[in-house]
C-alpha cells in the first residue's frame, strides 16, 4: 500500500500481462457451493428516484449486495484466493489473515468457510458489532485491537496481522490494494454483466472509488466496448482520489461514508480512465441511501447512496434515450446502528428538521412509555476482579458474550471486561493468560471512554435506544447504600440493542 501518488500498475488488457482471464458464465440452477452465487447480480431500473429528480434519461443500478456475502468485495475475495491457489501460494491447511474493517474481510471469511481454510481477521474495537457477528458466524477468529492505536503501532490491527503472519506457519496475507486480480475480477465479470444486460448500449457509468479495483476493471472494459461512454467517479470530500487536485482542496479528514475514498492513491486505481469526478458528502449520501430503501426497496449501504446521488447529478445533463449505470456496493446489514438509525443521523446533523420531527413522533409512539424492566432480561452473568483472565475468556465463549460486568468480592460493580480487549492484550504480550481480570478490565471511574452511565430497571426504552448510538451493551444496576453520602451499584442485567429489537418484534 503506497502513501504517495503513482500510476496504476495493473494492466488488464488480455495478453499484455500474465494475468489469467475468464469468460462470463451463467449461474447454474444448482450450485456446488455458495461461492457460485458471486456475480450475475441484477441491474435494476431506478424509476421512482429518476422521476422524483426530474431525470429524462434511464437510471440503472447494479445491485452488488445480492452477492453471497452481501457486497461487491465478494468478487475480489473469491478471485484473489482462487488465483493464489492456482499459483501454489495457498494450500490445504493454510491460514488466511486479513487486517480489515470492511467487506473484503467478510468476503474472505466466507470463502475460507467454504474452502476449509482458517481465517483470522484483526479489526479495531470501534468497528460495528454487526461486522464482528458476521465474521464469527463464518468461523473466522476475530481479534479486536485498541481503536486509539496508530496504524503503524505494535498494537494496531495491521501490525497484529503482520506479526501473526510471521508467527503462524503456512499463513498468508492477501493484498487487495496491490493484487491485479482486484480489477481483473471486475474486468472479466462485473463489466461483462453490465454490457450484456445493456446490449452494449450505455452512455454514462458512475462509480465510487475505494481501492479502485471496481472502477478500474469495469471502466477499462466499457471503454473498450463503448468508447463514447462517460466515466464518472464519486469521491468523498476529505478524500484525495478525485482529479484535478483542485477538487480536493479540503484537507484529508474523517467522513462517515464507508468503503470509498482514501488519503493515498491505491495501486489498483487507474484515474486516467475517469472523465469527470464528483465530490460527495455524508448528508446527501445517507439521505439518498435511505431513499433507495424507502422508495425503491433496495436494502443498500451508505456508499450506494453516494454513488446514486452522484449519478443523479451527472445525469441531469442527459436527455431521453440515454442510459446511466451506477453500482450499489453493499447492503444495509453492516449499518443498522449507523445511517439507518434516526438518532445517529440526528446526532451528526444528517436528519432534516421535518424528517426529524416526523421520526421523533414515531419514536415516542414506538416505545409507548416502556421501560427496561419490560424487556424481561435474564440475570447478569458476572465475574470477580481476582478471577484469572483465561477463566473470563472461557466464560464469555461458553455463553457467547463479548463482555462481562466485573464485580468486587462484595458484589459491587467495578467495571467491564471485553473479549476483544483481552485477546488483544494477550496477543500483544501485554498480559499473560494467568493474569487477573483486574489487569485487563475497563474501570468505569478511571477510563474516560468507559464512563459509567446509570441504567436502572426504570430507565425509559427511548433513553436506552439513544444510549446504543455509541455503545454496544449496557449494564442495568441497582443502588446499594454504603453510608449517608455514598452509594454503590450492583449489576443485575446486561442489555444490548438486540434486546430492544426483540422487544419491538414481539410487540408488533
Q: How many angstroms separate the Cα of 385 from the Cα of each of 25, 305, 397, 418, 432?
A: 58, 47, 18, 13, 15
Same domain, 297 and 238: yes
Same domain, 251 and 192: yes
* Residues catalogued as catalytic: 73
Which H helix or E strand runs over 413? strand 413-418
Check whether 358 has a pLDDT greater than 80.
no
pLDDT band for position 451 (cuts 50, 70, 90): low
Check whether 359 has a pLDDT greater than 70.
no
Same domain, 303 and 401: no
| Sheet strand arrangement including 323-328 | 43-45, 58-63, 323-328, 204-208, 230-236, 276-280
Say which residue, 123 or 350, is predicted with more confidence: 350
Same domain, 106 and 64: no
What pLDDT does residue 147 have?
A: 57
Please check whether residue 355 lies inside any domain of the structure: no
What pLDDT does residue 103 have?
A: 86
Same domain, 322 and 422: no
Same domain, 224 and 308: yes
Please check whether residue 364 lies inside any domain of the structure: no
274-280 mean pLDDT: 98
Rounded distance, CA 183 to CA 16, Å?
14
Check whether 446 has a pLDDT greater than 60.
no
Burial class (CB in 10 A: 0-12, 13-18, 19+), 163: middle
351-377 mean pLDDT: 79
Rounded distance, CA 123 to CA 109, Å?
13
Check whether 153 has a pLDDT greater than 90.
no
CB 255 within 8 A of CB 205: no
Q: For the chain, give the percent of residues with pLDDT over 90.
A: 59
For residue range 278-324, what is the model confidence (pLDDT) as tens digits?
999 999 999 999 999 999 999 999 999 999 999 999 999 999 999 99
- Read off the pTM: 0.69
**Helix ranges restricted to H, 143-255:** 157-167, 181-185, 191-197, 213-225
What pLDDT does residue 368 have?
A: 80
Same domain, 145 and 281: no
Please check whether residue 10 lies inside any domain of the structure: no
DSSP 476: E
Please check whether residue 321 lies inside any domain of the structure: yes
For residue range 18-67, what is the model confidence (pLDDT) as tens digits?
678 888 888 889 999 999 999 999 999 999 999 999 999 999 999 999 99
Q: What is the residue range of 107's domain?
A: 92-169
Say which residue, 460 or 484, is predicted with more confidence: 460
What pLDDT does residue 252 have?
A: 54
CB 326 within 8 A of CB 256: no
244-265 mean pLDDT: 81
Check whether 449 has a pLDDT greater than 60.
no
Check whether 447 has a pLDDT greater than 50.
no
**What dihedral angle (degrees, nearest 10) is formed by the CA atoms of 455, 498, 471, 488?**
20
Question: What is the Cβ-side half-sphere exposure of residue 17, based on CA atoms within 13 angstroms?
Answer: 12
pLDDT band for position 343 (cuts 50, 70, 90): confident
Rounded distance, CA 412 to CA 286, Å?
43
**What dihedral angle (degrees, nearest 10) is formed by the CA atoms of 249, 250, 251, 254?**
-150
What pLDDT does residue 1 have?
A: 40
Nearest in space to 278 (alpha carbons), one of 313, 246, 250, 302: 313
pLDDT band for position 8 (cuts 50, 70, 90): low
Please check whether residue 180 lies inside any domain of the structure: no
78-84 mean pLDDT: 95
Same domain, 228 and 160: no
Same domain, 310 and 204: yes
Say which residue, 369 or 360, is predicted with more confidence: 369
Same domain, 204 and 328: yes
Same domain, 125 and 268: no
- Quote the mean pLDDT of the chain: 88
Please check whether residue 249 lies inside any domain of the structure: yes
351-376 mean pLDDT: 79
Check whether 74 has a pLDDT greater than 70.
yes
Residue 178 Cα to chain centre, angstroms = 21
Last residue in a domain, options 286, 317, 335: 335
Check whether 4 has a pLDDT greater than 50.
no
CATH number at residue 445: 3.10.580.10
Q: How many angstroms separate the Cα of 507 from the Cα of each of 367, 370, 374, 459, 502?
A: 10, 11, 11, 18, 8
Same domain, 145 and 108: yes
Please check whether residue 253 lies inside any domain of the structure: yes
Last residue in a domain, options 169, 198, 221: 169
Please check whether residue 284 lies inside any domain of the structure: yes
* C-alpha cell, 339: 445511517
Task: Report the number of distinct structural domains present in the chain.
Answer: 3
Nearest in space to 311 (alpha carbons), one of 61, 73, 43: 61
Check whether 435 has a pLDDT greater than 70.
yes
Nearest in space to 57 (alpha carbons), one of 393, 287, 367, 319: 319
Rounded distance, CA 193 to CA 300, Å?
20
Rounded distance, CA 289 to CA 497, Å?
22
Query: Does the N-terminal peptide bond of residue 244 adopt cis geometry, omega within 30 degrees of 0?
Result: yes
CATH number at residue 100: 3.40.50.1100
Check whether 191 has a pLDDT greater than 60.
yes
pLDDT band for position 6 (cuts 50, 70, 90): very low
Nearest in space to 53 (alpha carbons), one of 236, 318, 232: 318
Phi, psi of 124 (to 5 degrees): -65, 155
pLDDT band for position 170 (cuts 50, 70, 90): very high
Amino acid at each position: 500500500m503506497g502513501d504517495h501518488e503513482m500510476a496504476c500498475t495493473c494492466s488488464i488488457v488480455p495478453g499484455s500481462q500474465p494475468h489469467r482471464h475468464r469468460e462470463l458464465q451463467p449461474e447454474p440452477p444448482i450450485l456446488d457451493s455458495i461461492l457460485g452465487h458471486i456475480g450475475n447480480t441484477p441491474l435494476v431500473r431506478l424509476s421512482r428516484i429518476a422521476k422524483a429528480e426530474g431525470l429524462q434519461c434511464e437510471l440503472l443500478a447494479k445491485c452488488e449486495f445480492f452477492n453471497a456475502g452481501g457486497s461487491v468485495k465478494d468478487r475480489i475475495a473469491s478471485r484473489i484466493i482462487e488465483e493464489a491457489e492456482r499459483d501454489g501460494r495457498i494450500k490445504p491447511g493454510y491460514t488466511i489473515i486479513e487486517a480489515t474493517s470492511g467487506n473484503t474481510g467478510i468476503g474472505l471469511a466466507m470463502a475460507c468457510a467454504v474452502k476449509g481454510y482458517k481465517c483470522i481477521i484483526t479489526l479495531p474495537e470501534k468497528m460495528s458489532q454487526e461486522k464482528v457477528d458476521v465474521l464469527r458466524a463464518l468461523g473466522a477468529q476475530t481479534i479486536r485491537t485498541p481503536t486509539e492505536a496508530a496504524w503503524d503501532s505494535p498494537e494496531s490491527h495491521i501490525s497484529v496481522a503482520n506479526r501473526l503472519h510471521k508467527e503462524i506457519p503456512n499463513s498468508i496475507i492477501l493484498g487487495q490494494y496491490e493484487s491485479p486480480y482486484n480489477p481483473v475480477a471486475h474486468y472479466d465479470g462485473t463489466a461483462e454483466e453490465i454490457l450484456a444486460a445493456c446490449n452494449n448500449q450505455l452512455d454514462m457509468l458512475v462509480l465510487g472509488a475505494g481501492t479502485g479495483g471496481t472502477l478500474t476493471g469495469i471502466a477499462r472494459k466499457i471503454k473498450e466496448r463503448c468508447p463514447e461512454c462517460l466515466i464518472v467517479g464519486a469521491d468523498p470530500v476529505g478524500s484525495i482520489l478525485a482529479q484535478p487536485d483542485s477538487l480536493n482542496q479540503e484537507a484529508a479528514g474523517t467522513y462517515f461514508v464507508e468503503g470509498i475514498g482514501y488519503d493515498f492513491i491505491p495501486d489498483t486505481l487507474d484515474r486516467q480512465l475517469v472523465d469527470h469526478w464528483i465530490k460527495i458528502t455524508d448528508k446527501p449520501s445517507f439521505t439518498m441511501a435511505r431513499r433507495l430503501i424507502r422508495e425503491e426497496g433496495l436494502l443498500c449501504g451508505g456508499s450506494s447512496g453516494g454513488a446514486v446521488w452522484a449519478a443523479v447529478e451527472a445525469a441531469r445533463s442527459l436527455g431521453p434515450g440515454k442510459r446511466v449505470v451506477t453500482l450499489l456496493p453493499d447492503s444495509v446489514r453492516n449499518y443498522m446502528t449507523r445511517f439507518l438509525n434516526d438518532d445517529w443521523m440526528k446526532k451528526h446533523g444528517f436528519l432534516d428538521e421535518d424528517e426529524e420531527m416526523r421520526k421523533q413522533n414515531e419514536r415516542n409512539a414506538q416505545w409507548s412509555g416502556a421501560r427496561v424492566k419490560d424487556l424481561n432480561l435474564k440475570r447478569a452473568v458476572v465475574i470477580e476482579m481476582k478471577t484469572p483472565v483465561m477463566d473470563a475468556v472461557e466464560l464469555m465463549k461458553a455463553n457467547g458474550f463479548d463482555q462481562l460486568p466485573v464485580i468486587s468480592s462484595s458484589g459491587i460493580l467495578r467495571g467491564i471486561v471485553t473479549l476483544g480487549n483481552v485477546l488483544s492484550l494477550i496477543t500483544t504480550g501485554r498480559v499473560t493468560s494467568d493474569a487477573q481480570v483486574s489487569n485487563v478490565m475497563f474501570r468505569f471511574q478511571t477510563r474516560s471512554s468507559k464512563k459509567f452511565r446509570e441504567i436502572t430497571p426504570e430507565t425509559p426504552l427511548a433513553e436506552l435506544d439513544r444510549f446504543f448510538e455509541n455503545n454496544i451493551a449496557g449494564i442495568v444496576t441497582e443502588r446499594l447504600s454504603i453510608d449517608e453520602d455514598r452509594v454503590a451499584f450492583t449489576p443485575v442485567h446486561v442489555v444490548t440493542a438486540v434486546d430492544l429489537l426483540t422487544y419491538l418484534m414481539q410487540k408488533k
